[in-house]
Amino acid sequence: MPVPRSRHVCTMAAALALALAGLSTATAVPTAPAASPQQSAEGLREVMFVGNNWDGTADVIESRGDFARIGRINVIPDKDERLTEIYLNPIKLAYFLGVRHGPGEGHDQFVDDMYSPPDGSAVVVSRPSFADVVSIDLATGRIKWRFPVSGYRSDHMAVSPDGTRVAVSASTANTVHVLDIDTGKQLGSFATGDKPHENVFTDGGKYVWNMSIGEVITALDDPAFDWTKGDRRITVVDADTFEQVKVIDMRERLDAFGREDLSDAVRPVAFTPDESTLYFQVSFFNGFVEYDVASDKVTRVKTLPKNAATSEDRTTWVNDSRHHGMSMNPQGTKLCIAGTMDDYVTVVDRESLQEGPLVTASKPYWATVSGDGKSCVVSESGADQVTAIDFSTGRKVASVPVGDHPQRVRLGHVAAGWTGPSEG
């Protein structure tokens, strides 16, 4: 008989009270892009970093306008050293090959996520196949620091609002590390559910939210075997003490809403500007869920169109995704949704939940917001390009070629006049 998965709850009443109070009264943020420390500093240029997962590079493109490519960074300059280390360790080799033939779809995963520090001198990259985070000097292309994560695979990251800390998921260790972005020194860590994935700083950097997605590379994708996917939950911690303040089990919330059929593996997320509402995608679903933070309830579920050409065999969907990638415009009025397995992108009106035109895209894997807030920028991993969709019209405005299998796209900064490392 299936064994019900454990339910993790916060046992300290005081901590839960703090979470409910603090998380439901988050300070509103501006409805237009605000100047960050990076943007306000002189001599810096706002850009977008595009992680080309399979070839181990990051393309740097304009953050708005024509999104033209500016330069390229080799994020695995130490590849030979890392591979030697892996080949000499049978356990590391087993996990390395597991990443290649599991989430890597037959390829090594050399870059997952990227952020730049406030001074724009480097790019900090999580490298799943090498189970680490590195800082690459943007002037020289050399590694400034390296942090091996717990376990055998690194994953999604998040940067604090002040740009000084990065949180990285160590997916096989069920742990999130929080690092100093300049030195790579660990400031703290916390335990999560199975296979931590997305991280988000909230309330001005006071909290870190982590979403664990459970096992996504097994073939037990039939809903009857959902219990085998593990402990999937949202873990919220104090970003200074790393103490757990709240655990959100979406299984209970989805069931209460009458959607027992939906997976509770929370994938990409988007908060409203005042952080009162969370939108998220779940495994196997062509659509997304709306969750009210204060009431702790699922409030709406939006089903988006299916592509008739998409196989209904769940085992063919990449890492249990159907739709993977979402972002919200700065005004909080539009959502941009990457329909990964359905090969389209669409902009959805947040009030009515009515989708706009379905813009054809090849396995779109991520969605973010342009520097001017006017466009949704998605990575087309199946076409090796990034595409910008206008939030106001829902129409494509630009596509730019990048490297092999682009995934994460993040805003950042480089020195003014930068065109690439001088050596690499």
- Burial grade of 129 (CB within 10 A; 0-12, 13-18, 19 or more): buried
On whether the CB atoms of residues 192 and 172 are closer than 8 A, the answer is no
pLDDT, position 410: 98
Q: Are 40 and 388 in contact (CB under 8 A)?
A: no
The residue ranges of the chain whose pLDDT is under 50 are: 1-40, 424
Task: Determine the pLDDT at residue 319.
Answer: 84
Q: What is the DSSP letter of 6?
A: P
Q: Which two tokens stand for residue 104?
A: 């890597």
Q: Is the pTM of this model over 0.75?
A: yes
CB-count exposure of residue 357 (10 Å: 0-12, 13-18, 19+): middle
Segment 245-281, tens digit of pLDDT:
999 999 999 999 999 999 999 999 999 999 999 999 9
Residues 60 and 82: their CA atoms lie apart, in Å, by 24
Q: What is the pLDDT of residue 249?
A: 96
Q: What angle do CA 58, 159, 102 make, to 5 degrees?
A: 55
- Any idea what the Cα angle at residue 369 is, between residues 286 and 390, rounded to 5°? 80
Structural domains in the chain, CATH included, are 13-415 (2.130.10.10)
Q: Which residue's entry shows tokens 């969605």?
A: 367
pLDDT at 44: 96
Phi, psi of 254 (to 5 degrees): -65, -40
